[in-house]
Structure 1
């Protein structure tokens, strides 16, 4: 028999359990409020650094953080607006190595400071007052935000460092050259690196003559098999060959090899082969070379691939391989986007064509890259370009001149490119008329500046003759080798 209970005892126990449930629900509501507050403080730090500290009572820290944030944001907006109007400001920011050094350290400081604010926001959320699951969630959210934001800033700082090191490693630190007769003349050498060769053999030789104000460019192509030419007066090579480079088997692309075999003649020069080639080109064209760049054709493939290819018009099947090796395939005709491998063979293939058709195709590749690559492409693929560019280009262009040449490139992008080539039928490369060569170059530059005589028109019936993948023939002349509008000839 159950013992009798006193009256009212059931009511008291039921009331106690009800009070406990009410208290538990109140505790749950309070914990949820604290949890939401903790998450809100973290999100406030993400959107407006320092705002969490400001509302939580740490006003000094909050004010400092918000002032830094607004100053940083205002500076970025101001620089973006100025850069939109004056591109030179943007170029200064991305090409000045001292400014880049400041930017990378500023990004590292911002990363550390922002991470500290996230940690402080987590502390202000009173994590010890939360339930275990809420506490773990708060830790996870805070860690994700902290590492995402700080990691992005630190990765950005790393990219700035890579960019700065790329400029320092790949561009000279020597004095800048003044324009000659209002133009910068840049010698572009296509280097063919192969087994058993010392350095890069200049296999493609072009002078880009660039108007120092407008950026209007004339490409002067010199064949590698040019013979019996003279060097610039009072140069090292002119002293060695006072009657010109007219020995047996002496061609323009052999000048570099001769110089590399006689480096003692060039004193402390780091690039005697390039220096000797410059002396030859100056003697041939009467142009004063401002700077030079040696392009490794194998690295060229990686650069084209980094941009996602280049669009070219292939007029005939272009063989891959040949001339000492097997032809492994053909680049099919049509206007389409070629990858780095195919673009390289489009530019260098000689099987079934001649050197002069090859020169014409090379100019078409130059024109396509100049017109199709945009600043957006450069930014989007910068990581791949720095890797490819380090292996592709050697140059004496000083880093201090990068801004100037980038501005000229932007100006030249929407302008016509002219070409002058020292090739048949105008010039017999085995026994050239040196005076005629200099006149051809001078006239081509004068036409680009709107001063020279217009070239004679080709006969209409022969305009579409195609040989070696280029419009024209050796006897008629290839259109891309002699044009006041290279795009129309490609």
Structure 2
């Protein structure tokens, strides 16, 4: 069965079978093209700056899709022709049938990797186009001016990460989870600033329609049931429901909430990403679950019928979401901490190998998971920045009692602490090296902590 052996060699070294059969010029030409292709690929990888960022561009993705499809057809033809030049007709009839069958299977097998690449890239490209803004938008926040300085001199990129409770049975969107990720554009060091959903008397930037309508803060009459619809988590919904405040413009909720949180923290919010909480559950299922230490039993459900048991184990999406969202026998601030723990687990456990092996499931979940105003062209710069964050220092701060009084917030204090935390993240103090750092209270009284700090601790 030397024919099959030479075919197998030709699948990885094109031209080998032709050289064996005496087709010297053809064999050398095929081998030369193969080596030239490998060198060209190596040159592209080594010479292209920000390669991962480039792989978010439609032109690159289309080129890869077409190239993979063409190479698949070429490799199929190569195996077939290699089989022919090896003259299997000289074999006995039984050998011809066996060799022909194996050659056919090999021809199909060599096409499969190219088919997988084509399908993955097509799904990836479609997902990016579905999720991110493709058309130019009016609010291009300090758009990048060059490849050398994609952030146009900015030191930080501020993205508002929102967890929404949108549902088929619920009108509007309440943003029950609000975290601002402020990322150092050079180092990737990140501060995750969490604001509670029940922040009252929210102030709006002077001169805006919401500030003119609520000059002393966001305040509405109590709901018939005694609840309130004028908390921070209602700003998006209220703005969407009252286009008359904005000259009839529809869907102003995202912009109003970004501007409001930016004003509250003394920052400029660049973009937002709204994550449907149950869409996040599908994403967690797509990567096979997340390992979390549940510090104590978490009860959930309309009749308290659900339970996420205490212990360290891998949680499926639904259990992870109930762990993050339940307030039964708990409160908003404990829930905020648990949400931070889920984010930390995702950041730590969604490694490249996991993403690759679950690619299609992740892409499908992402399409229904995220709503954002991040412009599509910015992805080529945000992808390498996200990789920096993966290996950088991520600290967090939560504006919850006793740090602040959510019923009567000290806005100057919130702004001052946020600015100080960001400055510290950008210029961390030098720490003396020691085998076992002493666990003493921070003399500065800083409310910041590592993203995973406190996770799994009662």
TM-score by length of 2: 0.84
CA spacing shift, 1:489–1:482, aligned 2, 3 Å:
farther
Q: Displacement of 1:140 after TM fit?
A: 0.5
Match of 1:168 in 2: 129
Greater alpha carbon shift after TM alignment, 212-221 vs 66-75: 66-75
Distance 2:116 2:125 in 1: 14
- How is 1:61-100 mapped onto 2 (pairs within 5 angstroms)? 61-77=26-42, 82=46, 89-100=50-61
Measured after TM superposition, the shift of residue 93 of structure 1 is: 4.9
Q: Is the 8 Å Cα contact of residues 183 and 191 (structure 2) preserved in structure 1?
A: yes
Structure 1, 351-360 or 170-179: larger mean CA deviation:
170-179
Aligned partner of 1:244 in structure 2 is 217
Whether 1:231 aligns to 2:192 is: no
Deviations 1:262-288 (A, max 9, x none): 235557977422122112212222211
Equivalent of 1:370 in 347, 354, 375: 347
Contact 1:312–1:368 at 8 Å: present in 2 too? yes
Task: Note closer, same or farther for the CA distance 1:116–1:445 as it changes in structure 2 (3 Å cut).
Answer: same
Instruction: Please state how far the C-alpha of 1:246 moved relative to its aligned partner.
Output: 2.2
Question: After alignment, is 277-286 or 385-394 more displaced?
Answer: 277-286
1:151 counterpart (112, 121, 137): 112
* 1:112 and 2:101 correspond: no
State how far apart, in whole Å, the 2-side matches of 1:332 and 1:281 are: 35
Distance in 2 (alpha carbons) for counterparts of 1:291 and 1:256: 15
| 1:309 alignment partner in structure 2 | 289
Which residue number in structure 1 is paired with residue 449 of structure 2? 484
Q: Give CA deviations for 1:436-457 in whole Å, capped at 9, x if unaligned.
A: 22112112222223379xxxxx
Task: Label 1:61 to 1:394 Cα distance change in 2 as closer, same or farther (>3 A).
Answer: farther
Which residue, out of 255, 259, 262, partners 2:235?
255
SS at match of 1:424: coil
What is the CA distance between 1:116 and its match in structure 2?
A: 1.1
Please report how far the alpha carbon of residue 385 of structure 1 lies from its aligned counterpart in structure 2 after TM superposition.
0.9
What is the aligned partner in structure 2 of residue 458 from structure 1? none
Q: 1:371, 1:414 within 8 Å by CA — same for their partners in 2?
A: no
State how 1:189-228 maps to structure 2 within 5 Å.
Answer: 189-198=162-171, 200-228=173-201
Whether the 8 Å contact between 1:232 and 1:238 is mirrored in structure 2 is yes
Residues 275-322 of structure 1: CA deviation (Å, up to 9, x unaligned): 22112212222211111000011111121122222222222111132x
In 2: Cα distance, 1:210 partner to 1:487 partner: 17
1:129-174 per-residue CA deviation (whole Å, 9 max, x = no partner) reads 4433222112211110111111321222111111111112212234
Decide which of 439, 448, 460 is 2:425's aligned counterpart: 448
Residue in structure 1 matching 2:9, options 22, 26, 44: 44
| Aligned residues: CA RMSD | 2.9
Question: Counterpart of 1:327 in 2: which secondary structure?
Answer: coil
Whether contact under 8 Å (1:107, 1:153) holds in the other structure is yes
In structure 2, how many angstroms separate the alpha carbons of the residues matched to 1:144 and 1:412?
Answer: 45
Q: C-alpha distance in 1, partners of 2:250/2:124?
A: 25
Change (3 A) 1:217 1:269: farther
Take 1:371 and 1:66, find their aligned partners in 2: how far apart are those partners?
A: 43
SS at match of 1:402: helix
Q: 1:38 to 1:419 in 2, by over 3 A?
A: closer
Deviates more, 1:132-141 or 1:236-245: 236-245
Paired with 1:157 and 1:269, the residues of 2 have a C-alpha distance of 41
Partner of 2:389: 412
Aligned 8 A contact 2:173 2:237 in 1:
no
Name stretches of at least 5 consecutive residues in structure 1 with no aligned partner. Answer: 1-35, 453-462, 464-478
Q: Which has the larger radius of gyration?
A: 1
On the 8 A contact 2:158/2:269 being kept in 1, the answer is yes
User: Which of 319, 322, 325 is the matching residue for 1:342?
Assistant: 319
